[in-house]
């Protein structure tokens, strides 16, 4: 089996899934192309802001495509390429894309409400509170993990003190992206620039930023960039969607799609051979395939975080219900394609069935950089572009998740009857204060490093997907829609991820026995892990009870089948 065959097969299967299964879901549940979406009905110039299909797609795809589809498949290749490929394809089509689309669909049909509020409407207030607390804790893990990735990527100095030009140039380009995105958002909104003109201006800005960033690299250490990253997260959380996140995601999507295209074209031209066996074994390096494979490959197959983007931000900018299939289902399949490309790259770089001794980003970046040079791009410029693309994977995630974390905290603090808050709760629910209360604990988690956070993040992420799926199943049942296609994914993901969390807790207690337990790092992780497990059980108890009941309360009949 060669790389071209694997990628070609995956692309064909994903295309068929979109054309047939995705459209079947739309037909089964029903949409109203002429309906006024929440983006128009509640337009406030901040969170609710109507946008074109491509702009919303760019935000959704940029936000969900983090480090996962590169990191996960490359690590999971240790079991062989076949188990990883099968999970990416089956998970992407029947688990991840279905979850992302259904979350977007449910939110648009319910006034752009977040998943927590949807659960409140169809399950109850207790289930909602438990889910929101889970989401907030989960957001801390995401911000911590991806901020560490960004700061490490931008670090302009090696351990010996030598300057790392690609990292510094990528940092410079990223800084430019923030300020140019703000200007781009103001100009396109003020002069109502859309379509081809918006595309042309966007491409010019991208090439100009890449040129200026490479010519003027910014050399700073990891700690400095970590502070800068958290400052950016704060700004992204409090600024209107149209002013920073939307235009930055619009400009970033071309980088991400270009990276995927370069990988696909490189594989087509180079036709690399797969140097890994199809199957290595069930246990590799003392790690069993179940549940590790399904936790390691998260974003490329299914990710609970995606549903928070679908229902937290994207649903508030959808202009037409017809756009939901492309935004929700389509963006996930493209991310799965990136997962397949990453898998092929890793397996083609293996020697005698052994993966290179390098980080997943290093393996992926080296290969993509080589593909860029095949198209005539100089090696030094190629290295800077690839580093920027890798950093963009993290950058486009943390801005959205900080905003989602802040909104989750505000919803946790809100009164159940919708009355105005007073005292401490009013102070803490302030947009600026809620953002700070989200960023500070995530920074403490970040001190433990990306590698320490990732296993817990992966387990929590997949567990979140199970909770989301069971909540969505209740929504579908309560509104008279078929929901059986969600049952297997939600049960499977709950069993897999709860098992993984138990293993994580066991590992932390193992550190206590070995005397290597660090209270500020391992202790905080243990508290978060136990809290996530408790909250998950509470959400399943409330949602599962509602799903198994044969009644549909009157309060749940407000959103009827379209």
Is 238 domain-assigned?
yes
pLDDT in tens, the chain (562 residues): 789 999 999 999 999 999 999 999 999 999 999 999 999 999 988 889 999 999 999 999 988 987 778 888 998 999 999 999 999 999 999 999 999 999 999 999 999 999 988 998 998 888 888 889 888 988 998 899 889 888 888 999 988 899 999 889 989 999 999 999 999 999 999 999 988 999 999 999 999 999 999 999 999 999 999 999 999 999 999 999 899 999 999 998 988 888 888 888 889 888 889 999 999 999 998 889 998 899 889 888 999 989 999 998 999 999 999 999 999 999 999 999 999 999 999 899 888 888 887 767 778 877 888 887 877 888 888 888 888 887 887 888 899 899 999 999 999 998 877 788 888 999 999 999 999 999 999 998 888 776 677 667 777 888 889 999 999 999 999 999 999 999 999 999 999 988 888 887 888 888 888 888 877 667 877 887 888 788 888 888 888 888 887 655 444 444 444 4
Is 562 domain-assigned?
no
Question: The domain containing residue 163 runs over which residues?
Answer: 3-557
The CATH number covering residue 366 comes to 1.20.1740.10
Is 352 domain-assigned?
yes
Contact 331, 97 (CB under 8 A): no
Is 386 domain-assigned?
yes
Contact 170, 224 (CB under 8 A): no
Is 32 domain-assigned?
yes
Pairwise CA distance, residues 526 & 420, whole Å: 35
In which residue are the tokens 């097969």 written? 9
DSSP letter for each residue of 98-122: HHHHHHHHHHHTTTT--HHHHHHHH
Start-to-end CA distance of the chain, whole Å, equals: 47
Pairwise CA distance, residues 65 & 353, whole Å: 28
Pairwise CA distance, residues 138 & 497, whole Å: 14
Q: Total domain count for the chain?
A: 1
Q: Crossing angle for the helix pair 97-108 and 115-122, nearest 10 degrees?
A: 70
- pTM for the structure as a whole: 0.87
């Amino acid at each position: 089996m060669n790389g071209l065959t694997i990628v070609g097969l995956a692309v064909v299967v994903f295309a068929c899934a979109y054309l047939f299964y995705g459209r079947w879901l739309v037909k089964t549940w029903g949409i109203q192309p002429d309906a006024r979406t929440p983006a128009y009905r509640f337009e406030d110039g901040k969170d609710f802001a109507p946008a074109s299909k491509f702009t919303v797609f760019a935000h959704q795809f940029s936000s969900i495509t983090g480090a996962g589809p590169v990191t996960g498949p490359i690590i999971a290749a240790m079991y062989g390429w076949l188990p990883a490929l099968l999970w990416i394809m089956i998970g992407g089509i029947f688990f991840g894309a279905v979850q992302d689309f259904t979350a977007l669909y449910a939110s648009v049909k319910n006034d752009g409400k977040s998943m927590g509020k949807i659960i409140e409407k169809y399950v109850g207030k207790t289930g909602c509170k438990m889910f929101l607390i889970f989401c907030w804790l989960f957001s801390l893990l995401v911000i911590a993990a991806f901020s560490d990735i960004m700061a490490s990527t931008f670090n302009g100095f090696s351990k010996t003190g030598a300057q790392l030009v690609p990292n510094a140039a990528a940092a410079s380009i990223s800084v430019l992206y923030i300020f140019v995105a703000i200007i781009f958002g103001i100009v396109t909104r003020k002069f109502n620039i859309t379509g081809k003109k918006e595309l042309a201006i966007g491409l010019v800005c991208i090439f100009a930023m890449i040129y200026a960033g490479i010519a003027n690299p910014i050399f700073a250490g990891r700690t400095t960039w970590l502070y800068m990253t958290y400052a950016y997260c704060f700004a992204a959380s409090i600024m209107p969607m149209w002013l920073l996140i939307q235009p930055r995601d619009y400009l970033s999507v071309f980088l991400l799609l270009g990276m995927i295209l370069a990988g696909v074209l490189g594989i087509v031209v180079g036709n690399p051979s797969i140097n890994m066996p199809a199957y290595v074994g069930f246990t590799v390096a003392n790690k069993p395939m179940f549940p590790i494979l399904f936790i390691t490959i998260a974003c490329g197959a299914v990710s609970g975080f995606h549903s928070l983007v679908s229902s937290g931000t994207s649903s508030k900018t959808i202009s037409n219900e017809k756009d939901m299939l492309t935004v929700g289902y389509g963006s996930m399949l493209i991310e799965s394609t990136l997962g397949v490309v990453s898998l092929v790259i890793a397996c083609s770089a293996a020697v005698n069935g052994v993966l290179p001794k390098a980080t997943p980003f290093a393996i992926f970046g080296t290969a993509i950089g080589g593909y860029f040079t095949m198209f005539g791009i100089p090696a030094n410029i190629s290295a800077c572009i690839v580093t920027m693309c890798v950093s963009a994977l993290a950058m486009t995630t943390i801005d959205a998740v900080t905003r989602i974390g802040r909104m989750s905290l505000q919803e946790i603090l809100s009164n159940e009857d919708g009355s105005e808050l007073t005292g401490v709760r009013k102070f803490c629910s302030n947009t600026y204060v809620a953002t700070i209360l989200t960023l500070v604990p995530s920074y403490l988690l970040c001190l433990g490093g990306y590698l320490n956070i990732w296993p817990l993040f992966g387990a929590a992420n997949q567990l979140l997907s199970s909770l989301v799926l069971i909540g969505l199943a209740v929504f579908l049942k309560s509104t008279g829609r078929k929901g059986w296609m969600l049952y297997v994914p939600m049960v499977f993901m709950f069993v897999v991820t709860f098992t993984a969390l138990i293993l994580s807790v066991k590992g932390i207690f193992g550190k206590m026995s070995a005397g290597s337990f660090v209270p500020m790092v391992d202790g905080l992780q243990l508290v978060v892990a136990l809290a996530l497990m408790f909250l998950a059980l509470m959400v399943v108890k409330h949602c599962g009870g509602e799903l198994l009941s044969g009644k549909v309360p009157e309060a749940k009949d407000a959103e009827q089948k379209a």
